[in-house]
Structure 1
Amino acid sequence: MPTPEELLPIALEAVARASEVVRNRAPGTVTAKGDRDPATEVDYAVERAVREFLLAEAPEVGFLGEEDGRFGADDAELVWALDPVDGTVNFMHGVPLCAVSLGLVRGDRSVLGVIDLPFLGLRYSAVDGLGAYRDGDRIAAARDADRLADAVVALGDYAVGADASQKNVERLRTTELLAASVQRIRMFGSAAVDLVWVADGRIAATVMQTNLPWDTAAGVAVAREAGAVIVDLDGNSHTTRSASTVAVTPTLLDELMALLRRRRG
């Protein structure tokens, strides 16, 4: 089995090919996967092309894609996790905040991440233990954020579909608490963007009340290697099995978690 470091060039090439497709093709026909949950022709085309490339280059590594699910060996030690267009709604509407997000997971831990923001010309990468990079330059989560009142914090999207109203009660309470405490809230519409911008020091934290592996595997690897703390909403160490995802610069961890504990009462 190749190591994550050995697989990095393959991941970089896969994401480069995918990003080229996203930049140069219109969204095309839109398929409704559920209530307000669309996928475009580009989502499916990118996933198919990346899957075929990765399985040809590293057949011993499994594959999990957002659109078509699991391929390859069921008992693979390593599994790719791909979101072909993270931020599909943004992509459909011409908003440039979307990403190709490719992670590599061992067990329940992300060990590699490559994320490309096709319309912003930014590419992020990380391998477990080897640091995080933007276009070849080492990056680090913000170290000078001393209090939430000076922090920009991103929020994940509100829920749609079945039970959305119930799920959004806690999300709205979280929004209310943050609005009263942080400098600004931002909702970029892409988990990958949220996570790499914590890694790059552009925002101080992101709070997502979900944790789908294709959404978060790559970004968690990059943010962790940049020095961010990754936990769930209850402050437990984050894994691919966590129900939620919080990434925060270490200096704000205690203050943010104290605030988030108030979301339920």
Structure 2
Amino acid sequence: MTDLAPLLQIADAALDQASSLVTDMAVGAVRSKGDRDMVSEIDLAVEERVRDFLRKETPEIGFLGEESGGAGIDGPLTWALDPVDGTANLVNGLPLCAVSLGLVEDSRSVLGAIDLPFMRHRFRAAEGRGAYADDAPIGPSRTTALDQAIVAIGDYAVGARAQERNVRRLALTRMLAEQALRVRMLGSAAIDLTWVASGKLDASIALSNHPWDMAAGVAIAREAGAVVMDLDGSPHGLRSTATIAVAPGLRGTMLKMLDRL
């Protein structure tokens, strides 16, 4: 079994560098990378800095970044980085963005470190070692009823087949609007998952599962005690089609609703 303690320290050091770039750099040039999708100079600078740091500190571990790619998840251990999760928010001056660095072992997220640069919070977790916001242990809410739950949903699809892919997302929005206390779309999967882990949200539903988006947050939410699963209720993994994190008391109710999608 991999000793995760020193790797969590390395992830923490990587985020120190990344967070400084996010808060100190100007957004700079923003270019399109597809239909209603964008990348900023900050995204590129953070990914380059973190990739180079991790290659120096952990040359034996693979690396997958959202912007520059990498070898993919094809080895026993791989870092997965989203340099700025919530680029559209960042570009428009909204503070809801995060640097998200996860570690995947085989097909399971085992470590996560997420920094919220403009809110000055950092979330960390490693399998078997608990989950923390800054230095305080965290856990999910005790909510058991959907009509008492605040639920975050992932962004609507853009790009290829967006209209087709959004049919289910719009259906999900309608069901939640009819049943949940409130529905939120924050624009950052990393924030969604860490806030489920710490009880600020009662559930998070994303009908997607990119490793750079989810690896860190999944590890943190799971280690905090939230249920993290696929649409059918099976444990979340790299091959899951969705990323659903819920307070334990909402699992059954949420699955009944999702079964209607």
Contact conserved, 1:4 with 1:104, CA < 8 A, in 2? Answer: no
Q: 1:75 to 1:157 in 2, by over 3 A?
A: closer
Partner of 1:92: 91
Secondary structure (helix, strand or coil) at the match of 1:180 reads helix
Gaps of 5+ in 2: none
Deviations 1:3-43, CA, capped at 9 Å, x for gaps: 22221111000011101100111211112111011000110
**Over the residues paired in the alignment, what is the CA RMSD in angstroms?**
1.3
Structure 1 residue ranges (4+ consecutive) displaced by more than 2 angstroms after TM superposition: none
Question: Deviation of residue 128 (structure 1)?
Answer: 0.5
Contact conserved, 1:60 with 1:76, CA < 8 A, in 2? Answer: no
Gaps of 5+ in 1: none
Q: 1:71 to 1:50 in 2, by over 3 A?
A: farther
Q: 1:2 to 1:245 in 2, by over 3 A?
A: closer
Structure 1 residue 141 corresponds to structure 2 residue 114:
no
Q: What code does the residue aligned with 1:150 have? A: Q
Structure 1 residue 5 corresponds to structure 2 residue 12:
no
Aligned length: 261
Alignment of 1:1-265 (within 5 A): 3-70=3-70, 76-143=75-142, 145-263=143-261
Whole-angstrom distance in 2 between the partners of 1:27 and 1:260: 38
Contact conserved, 2:75 with 2:106, CA < 8 A, in 1? Answer: no
Whole-angstrom distance in 2 between the partners of 1:256 and 1:184: 14
Secondary structure (helix, strand or coil) at the match of 1:262 reads coil
Secondary structure (helix, strand or coil) at the match of 1:34 reads coil
Whole-angstrom distance in 2 between the partners of 1:10 and 1:25: 23
Whole-angstrom distance in 1 between the partners of 2:110 and 2:69: 20
Secondary structure (helix, strand or coil) at the match of 1:94 reads coil
Contact conserved, 1:152 with 1:203, CA < 8 A, in 2? Answer: yes
Deviations 1:55-94, CA, capped at 9 Å, x for gaps: 001110110000001159x864210000000000000000
Whole-angstrom distance in 2 between the partners of 1:71 and 1:162: 24
Q: What code does the residue aligned with 2:208 have? A: T
Question: Deviation of residue 116 (structure 1)?
Answer: 0.3
Q: What code does the residue aligned with 2:228 have? A: I
Deviations 1:115-156, CA, capped at 9 Å, x for gaps: 00000011000000111000011000112x120000000000
Q: What code does the residue aligned with 2:60 have? A: E
Secondary structure (helix, strand or coil) at the match of 1:126 reads strand
Identity %: 54
Contact conserved, 1:4 with 1:127, CA < 8 A, in 2? Answer: yes
Q: What code does the residue aligned with 2:29 have? A: T
Whole-angstrom distance in 2 between the partners of 1:248 and 1:69: 30
Question: Deviation of residue 225 (structure 1)?
Answer: 0.5
Deviates more, 1:174-183 or 1:22-31: 22-31
Q: What code does the residue aligned with 1:19 have? A: S
